[in-house]
A and B are shown apart, each in its own frame.
Chain A
Amino acid sequence: MKFNSFTYLVSEGFKNVFKNKKASMASLVTMICAMIMFGIFFVLGENANYVVEQVSSTQGIEVFIVNDATDEQISQLESEIWALGDKIATVTFVSKQEALESMKESLGSDSDLLDVYEGDNNIFPASFVVTLSDLSYSSEVEQEIWQMDYVKNIQSSDQTIDTLIRIANGVKIAIGVIFVFLIIIAIAIISNTIKLSVHARRKEISIMKYVGATNGFIRGPFIIEGIIIGVVSSVITLLILGTGYDLLIDKIGNSSVLQTMGIQLLQFSDMLQTITIVFLALGIGIGVIGSSISMKKYLEV
């Protein structure tokens, strides 16, 4: 297509939007509402994933080592754990002494009760704290470590992990469902707006047909109208969502509950790229599909 006819189509598309102010506004507002709904769930989902990630990095599997293991045997065990590959994020050795000290620390002022266990009397076993790259591997990794030598016992917070994974998966499904609904709603809204616009210009369209305009040429401005509505509503939604989210994060993100749990929430800027791409693709795609649907009837002259 030649450049000048492209600029012609774009300027006609803009004219359509403004000629059809009320319908354009109505669809813009509805689109924004639908997109905000989606945006909220998207943001929740991203944060849920982020929290799961953080928790998985702290929720390690504790692998207790038999008391009579030599240093060599311990380092052999460590390399065996590392050999499990990508699933393993970190492996930290906790010596008997460190185990005792951390126990003392948790007892606080009563820590002198444990003084009797100092030195050779130390009954606390040495251990490896293994963290995983993805929490969903935990039961698998646990089983594999069980097979290894010198392992006395394994302790992991299975239930916490399972719950977290379930929440994250639930949110993912919810996002998926809402995404599909959003697409259906948005196509319906935009195709309806374009239908009004096409109806308002039906005389023009019939003249265009007589003068020999191709269907593609007639469709062009309406597709652009759809894209404009899609893109403008995406941008406005991003602004609303971004401002709202940052305000909320200021209040919630620094709350004492989350801080004591050592959990951070995402900043909006961390998600901006993904969400922008999703919204723009959605706006453009729906603009094209919605207007194509509504044009069908009018092109048969």
Chain B
Amino acid sequence: MIEFKNVSKIYVTGTEAVHNATFTIEKGEFAFLVGPSGSGKSTIIKLILKEEEASRGNIIINGKDITYLRQKRVPYLRRSMGVVFQDFRLLPDRTVYDNVAFAMHIVRATPKHIRRQVPMVLSLVGLSNKAKMYPNELSGGEQQRVALARALVNNPSMIIADEPTGNLDPETAWDIMNLLNEINARGTTVVMATHAKDIVNKMKKRVIQIEKGVIVRDDKRGGYSSEV
């Protein structure tokens, strides 16, 4: 599903954000990317999204080597993944429904398909009754659920989440985690970058730990750090 082969990323400023990373995340897996800020978690996420180009090595996604993927094909790569960010990134001038439907318009879904799919995803994240509200009328947790609904609406094969609980209080954070777990249980691969120790420890999922751009640990069922 996601395979990194000796991937390094050196930014133009000269800093090496990722050094010789090699790992494989299988279909249906739930993997945490952990490490302190600036360790290279976000760079790995950006490399998966092909927002950044790898300086060395190969990245294979869904069986395709995306290292030399043409810029024109990048949108189609991204349609196979749903992305969730720490800051939600919702459109403030559109309702919850429209924020989710927006993602379907972009892939040129038919209006009929949109009318069927959006309510379904909204009920999955538990926001059916808030479809007509605007993002600023929702709590942080609800906003993140809208973002999750938007990520899910086009049935991606994987969810890429960059610190999705970073702006949420612990309780709402768990709501989101339970949702992600549920989505994963339905067969969607989930890759989540985080530094929320207790979440990682309690979930008992695969943990890929990064320090200064180097993968220092890859546990199939690990905690946040090896000492725990």
Chain A interface residues (CB < 8 Å from chain B): 1-2, 4-5, 8, 203-204, 206-215, 217, 301
Structural contact, B106 and A203, CB atoms closer than 8 A: no
Residue from B72, B75, B89, B111 in contact with A212 in the complex, judged by beta carbons closer than 8 Å: B75
Contact B91 A207, beta carbon cutoff 8 Å: yes
Q: Is there an interface contact between B51 and A207, defined as CB atoms closer than 8 Å?
A: no
Chain A residues within 8 Å of B102, by CB: 207, 211
| Chain A, residue nearest B91 (CB) | A204
Task: Give Cα A203 to B92, complex, Å.
Answer: 10
User: Which of A1, A2, A4, A212 sits near B106, CB closer than 8 Å?
Assistant: A212
B residues near A1, Cβ cutoff 8 Å? 108
Query: In the bound complex, do residue A8 and residue B105 qualify as a contact, i.e. CB atoms below 8 Å apart?
Result: yes
Is the pair B78, A212 in contact by a Cβ cutoff of 8 Å? yes
Cα A121 to Cα B103 with chains together (Å): 99
Q: Inside 8 A of A209's CB, which chain B residues have their CB?
A: 75, 78
Say yes or no: B111 contacts A4, CB within 8 Å: yes
Q: Which of B91-134 touch A at CB < 8 Å? A: 91, 102-103, 105-108, 110-111
A-side contacts of B79, CB under 8 Å: 211-212
**20 A-B pairs in the complex with CB atoms less than 8 angstroms apart:** A2-B108, A4-B108, A5-B105, A5-B108, A8-B105, A203-B89, A203-B91, A207-B102, A209-B75, A210-B49, A210-B83, A211-B78, A211-B79, A211-B102, A211-B103, A212-B75, A212-B78, A212-B79, A215-B72, A217-B106
Q: A292–B37 Cα gap in the complex (Å)?
A: 38
B76 within 8 A of A: yes
B150 within 8 A of A: yes
Complex: chain B residue closest to A214, CB-CB: B75
Q: Are A211 and B150 in contact (CB under 8 A)?
A: yes
A1, A4, A207, A212 — most chain B CB neighbours (10 Å): A212
Residue on B with the closest CB to A213? B106
Contact B150 A4 (CB under 8 A): no
Q: Which residues of B contact A207 (CB under 8 A)?
A: 89, 91, 102
- Knowing A203-B91, A217-B106, say if A210 contacts B111 (CB, 8 Å): no
How distant is the Cα of A1 from the Cα of B107 in the complex, in angstroms?
11
**A198 to nearest B CB, angstroms?**
15
- Min CB–CB distance B81 → chain A (angstroms): 8
User: Which residues of A have CB within 8 Å of B49?
Assistant: 210
User: How far does the Cβ of B199 sit from chain A's closest Cβ, in whole Å?
Assistant: 23
